[in-house]
Every structure is written in C-alpha cells, then in structure tokens.
C-alpha cells in the first residue's frame, strides 16, 4: 500500500520545524541578552512565585537599610550637636571659675555677661540644628523650632517624644533626643551608676530578653571542631531553659548549652572551634546574641539580660553580689537629713517603696538597667553612705542631685554676674556640673545608638547578600549553559534554513519545468 505526500503537507512540516528552531533560538538569545533564566511566567511557573517573594524581601530589606541611613544622619547630627554643647559648657565653666575667684572684678563681670549671652545664643543655634529640614531636638514636632526667646528667657516649643526608626523586621530604635531634657526646671535628679539588669535564669522568658526587646523565633546552625553540623529548631522555645535543652538535644550532647557565670549571656561548650549561625536566612541567633565563632571549646554570647522592674530580686543583680543585705543611706533634701534603712528590701519594688516612704517629695525610679532619684523641686539634694555597708555606693546613687536647667542656669548666671554676686556665681558650678554630666550621658547614649546602627547595617548587608544569592539561584541563567544552548540553537536553525531552502528550490524548479 503506497502513500502520497503532497507538497503542501511537506511545506507545512518544513515551516513548522523552521519556526520551532527559530523560537528556540530566540528564547536562547533572550536568555543570553537578559542573563535571566526566567523571562516570563511560561518559562518556569514555580520559580516565578519564589522570585516575586525574594524581590519583596529584598525591597523590604532595602527600606530598612534606608531607615538606617536616615537614622544615622540624625544620630550623627545629634552627636555633633552634643559635642558642641559640651564645648560651650566648658567655656561657661571657665567664666564661672574666673569670675567667682579673686580675679573677678566689676568690669570683668560685665564683660562676662556678654560672653554668657553669646554662649547662650550659640547654644540656641546648636539646639535648633536641622537635618534635611527637620529640627532634631524638637521631639516628634520636627517642623517646629525647639528653642525660641520669649522676652529675656528661652522656652521650649517641641514635645518630649522620641522618634522610633524600624531598622529590621523585628527591631526599632529611638534616634533622637528631645530638647525637653535640657529644660529640667521642675525637678532635680540623680542618675544611678549601677547596672541593675537581672541575671539570666533558666526560667527567664525569651520575650523579655535584651532589655525587653525580645527575640526572633526560628532555627540556628551549630558547628563544632569535628566538622559536625546541626540545625536546631528553636521556634517552640519559651524560656532560656528551652533553648539550652533544645541545643543540647539537637546536637546529641556534642554541644551543651548553658548560661555564663555572670548571668549575662548564653554559652556553648563542645569541641572547638565552635560556630553558631543563622539557618534559612533568619535572625534567631542574632536575637539571642549567639551568632559568633570561637576557636576555644566554649562560646559565649553577648549580653541579653532582661530589663529590671519592680519585681526584680536584689539577689538576681550581679552588681549587688556580696553586698546584700543592704544597709542605710542619708538623703539631704530641703534642709533635712533623712536616714533611710534599706536592710529589709528584697526586691527593687521594696527599695522604691521604702525610699519614697522615708523621703517625702522624692521619687525612686527604676529604669531598664539603672536607678534615678528625682526630687519634686529644682533644689539640690545629696545622698551618702550612712554605715559600713556603703549602700549608696553599691546602688550607684552616692552623690549630688541637681536640676538640668541649661538655659535657666545661664540666665541665673547672667543675673549673678550683673549683680556682682560671687557666691551665686560659684553656686552655679554645681548645676553646671550636673548639666555637663547629663550631656556626657547623652553622648554615651548616642554613641551606643551609633554602634547599634553599625550592627544593624551589618546584619542587613548580610541578609541582602543571602536574599540576592537565593534570587540569583531562581532567576539568573547559567552563562556557560546558555552559551552552549544558544550555539546549538543557531546551528539547528541554520540547518533548518538550509534544508528548507534546498527543498523549496527543487520544488520551484520542478514547477517551472
């Protein structure tokens, strides 16, 4: 039985084959031009979803990076302003010391009035600093000049709020210092110098870590010196004990989790070198302070202690180890000396209630990692040890409390200089010291924020590299493979053209004959 193949059918086969070769070549050329393996949904529908997800994560990460850049501008501007304020206060101290000494004369004091006025104007210029058109010392009222003159005095127009910046998927930080901290005309204060953040305990909740910042649930990878590596899922952990138990169990006992002897961080003991890293692009290890490598057999993380509160036991505070029970302190306030017995205190709440009951008009404030004693008026006060326990020193509150009236102090100093009152001029030194100490603390806070931003930037850069790498695996083409495939496609297309042209040429000649 014979079959007849028509010229029309033969032509359709040749044209179809030619078009398929051309389509394959064009696809390879598009991949070579874009260097992308996926250029449309039809290329790889599964990969399209992953590509879009990675693009969204990268866009979010880029936004966090921009926030870090903007935050750094504000923090750096604040740091420069505080350094300028510190320099001005140094100049004011020189004037105060000079004019309160035997060198001060009526003429020199009148000159000093002008000097102090110029320094006050310089302070106003510094505190009215703008960054990208926003006033950095106005709190959240960034469009309002924070300090303006009202008659002979300076008033604050901003608010007392902090500006929070999102620097990561689960992290925010304050980036500004409200100018209201320089206008403490309603009270006097004394900041404690003892770190009262409690030690980590097995029962410490992970949500309370890092002074209340919490943690990021997820998985980590642990590697020891034998080359063994384990991925440990911590997503269901609730306490420190859960984390240490999961790591010990997840590594089969090869690496044992624990708490450092000072109670500040997590530790890992095993065959060194030890490495703890993130798993799956998460931030779990970083949030627990354990993303590190050590050549030793014990890896210690960073300080992740929880914040102190009124329920914190004094026995859980490392700085008070060996100093309990507490004794008595003397508080000199408004012309009266109050003897405060703190020996019965077991918690920070006990300290607060005992102190405030014994000294009327004063507050005992407990912050995340320190104390602050605040008087209800701007009068000076002092706190001293009253017995051999040196309790005031142990609590870090031995010293003098005073108001932090930056411009109020300058106004009082100008009045004293105008009146030639050397006692009042010398009295300004105490308040000036308090203000200088406050500025120093603010500089340390700003320095800490700069360090935090550096850390956040490093984490974001690492995260961006991982995301870009994952995106590249899904989206980018293999250059060598594309080159080979393109060469084959071109060869195939040229062969199809040659065969088709010869067949069509033969048919045409036959037709003409």
Burial of 466: CB neighbours in 10 Å, binned 0-12, 13-18, 19+ = middle
Report yes or no on 43 lying in a domain: no
CA distance 310 to 363: 14
CA distance 373 to 395: 11
Residue showing tokens 């703890």: 276
What's the total number of domains in the chain? 4
Q: Are residues 484 and 459 in the same domain?
A: no
Relative to beta strand 219-223, strand 274-278 is antiparallel
Report yes or no on 371 lying in a domain: yes
CA distance 398 to 380: 14
Q: Are residues 95 and 154 in the same domain?
A: yes
Report yes or no on 181 lying in a domain: yes
Residue showing tokens 């890293």: 277
- The model's confidence at residue 493, banded by pLDDT at 50, 70 and 90, is low
Helix (H) or strand (E) holding 420: none
| DSSP classification of residue 205 | B
| Beta strands, E only, 270-355 | 274-278, 293-294, 298-300, 328-333, 336-341
CA distance 234 to 414: 62
Domain boundary among 274, 300, 326: 300
Which domain, by its residues, includes 505? 7-35+479-512
Residues 6+ apart with CB under 8 A from 71: 165, 167, 173, 175, 449, 453
Q: Are residues 71 and 129 in the same domain?
A: yes
Q: Are residues 62 and 140 in the same domain?
A: yes
Report yes or no on 473 lying in a domain: no
Q: Are residues 414 and 490 in the same domain?
A: no
Residue 269 three-state SS:
strand
Report yes or no on 380 lying in a domain: yes
| Range from 76-90, 92-106, 328-342, 386-400 carrying the lowest mean pLDDT | 92-106
Q: Are residues 148 and 213 in the same domain?
A: no
Q: Are residues 146 and 242 in the same domain?
A: no
Closest CA to 62 of 450, 471, 446: 471
Q: Are residues 157 and 69 in the same domain?
A: yes
Report yes or no on 199 lying in a domain: no
**Which pLDDT belongs to residue 357?**
95
Report yes or no on 256 lying in a domain: yes
467 pLDDT higher than 60 = yes
Average model confidence (pLDDT) for the chain? 85
State pLDDT tens for residues 334-358: 899 999 999 999 999 999 999 999 9
DSSP per-residue codes, 101-127: STT--HHHHHHHHHHHHHHHHHHHHHH
Q: Are residues 69 and 175 in the same domain?
A: yes
Domain CATH code at residue 146: 1.20.1330.10
Q: Are residues 296 and 237 in the same domain?
A: yes
**Which pLDDT belongs to residue 16?**
65
User: Is the model more confident about 368 or about 322?
Assistant: 322
Closest CA to 404 of 381, 445, 434, 382: 434
Across 477-490, b (16+ Cβ under 10 Å) vs e yields beeeebeebbeebe
Report yes or no on 496 lying in a domain: yes
Q: What pTM was estimated for this model as a whole?
A: 0.54
Residues 6+ apart with CB under 8 A from 29: 486
HSE-CB at 266 with a 13 A cutoff on CA atoms is: 30
State pLDDT tens for residues 87-98: 999 999 999 888
Total Cβ atoms within 10 A of residue 273: 14
Domain boundary among 300, 335, 362: 300
User: Is the model more confident about 94 or about 102?
Assistant: 94
Domain boundary among 347, 376, 401: 401
Torsion sign, CA atoms 279, 283, 285, 290: positive
State pLDDT tens for residues 138-192: 988 899 999 888 777 788 888 888 899 988 888 888 999 988 888 765 567 777 7
Q: Are residues 374 and 319 in the same domain?
A: yes
Q: Are residues 85 and 136 in the same domain?
A: yes
């Amino acid at each position: 039985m014979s079959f007849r193949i028509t010229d029309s059918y033969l032509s359709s086969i040749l044209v179809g084959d030619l078009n398929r070769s051309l389509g394959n070549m064009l696809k390879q050329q598009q991949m070579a031009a874009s260097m992308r393996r996926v250029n449309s949904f039809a290329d790889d529908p599964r990969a399209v979803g992953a590509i879009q997800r990675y693009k969204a994560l990268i866009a979010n990460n880029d936004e966090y990076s921009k926030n870090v850049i903007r935050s750094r501008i504000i923090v750096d501007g604040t740091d420069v302003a505080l350094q300028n304020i510190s320099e001005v206060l140094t100049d004011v101290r020189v004037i105060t010391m000079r004019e309160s000494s035997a060198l001060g004369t009526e003429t020199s004091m009148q000159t000093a009035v002008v000097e102090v006025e110029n320094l006050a104007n310089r302070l106003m210029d510094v505190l009215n600093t703008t960054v990208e058109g926003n006033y950095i010392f106005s709190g959240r009222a960034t469009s309002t000049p924070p300090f303006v003159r009202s008659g002979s005095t300076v008033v604050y127009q901003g608010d007392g709020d902090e500006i929070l910046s999102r620097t990561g998927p689960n992290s925010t930080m304050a980036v500004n210092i409200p100018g209201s901290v320089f206008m403490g005309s309603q009270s006097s204060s004394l900041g404690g110098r003892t770190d009262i953040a409690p030690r980590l305990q097995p029962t410490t909740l992970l949500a309370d870590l890092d002074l209340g910042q919490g943690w990021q649930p997820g998985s980590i990878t642990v590697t020891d010196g034998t080359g063994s590596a384990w991925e440990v899922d911590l997503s269901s952990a609730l306490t420190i004990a859960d984390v240490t138990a999961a790591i010990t169990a997840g590594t089969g006992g090869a690496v044992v989790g624990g708490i450092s002897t000072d109670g500040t961080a997590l530790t890992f003991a095993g065959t060194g070198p030890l490495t703890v890293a993130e798993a799956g692009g998460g931030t779990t290890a970083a949030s627990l302070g354990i993303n590190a490598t050590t050549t030793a057999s014990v890896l210690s993380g960073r300080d992740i202690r929880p914040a102190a509160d009124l329920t914190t036991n004094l026995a859980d505070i490392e700085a008070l180890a060996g100093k309990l029970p507490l004794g008595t302190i003397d508080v000199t306030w408004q012309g009266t000396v109050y003897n405060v017995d703190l020996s019965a205190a077991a918690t920070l709440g006990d300290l607060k209630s005992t102190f405030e009951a014994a000294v009327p008009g004063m507050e005992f404030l407990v912050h995340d990692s320190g104390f602050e004693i605040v008087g209800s008026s701007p009068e000076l006060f002092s706190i001293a040890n009253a017995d051999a326990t040196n309790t005031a020193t142990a609590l870090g509150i031995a010293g003098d409390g005073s108001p932090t009236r930056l411009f109020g102090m300058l106004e009082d100093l100008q009045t004293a200089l105008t009146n030639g009152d050397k006692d009042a001029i010398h009295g300004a030194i105490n308040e000036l010291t308090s203000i200088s100490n406050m500025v120093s603390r603010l500089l340390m806070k700003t320095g800490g924020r700069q360090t935090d931003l550096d850390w956040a930037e490093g984490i974001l850069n690492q995260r961006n590299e991982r995301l870009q790498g994952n995106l590249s695996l899904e989206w980018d083409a293999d250059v060598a493979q594309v080159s080979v495939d393109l060469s084959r496609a071109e060869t195939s297309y040229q062969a199809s053209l040659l065969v088709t042209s010869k067949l069509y040429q033969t048919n045409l000649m036959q037709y003409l004959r």
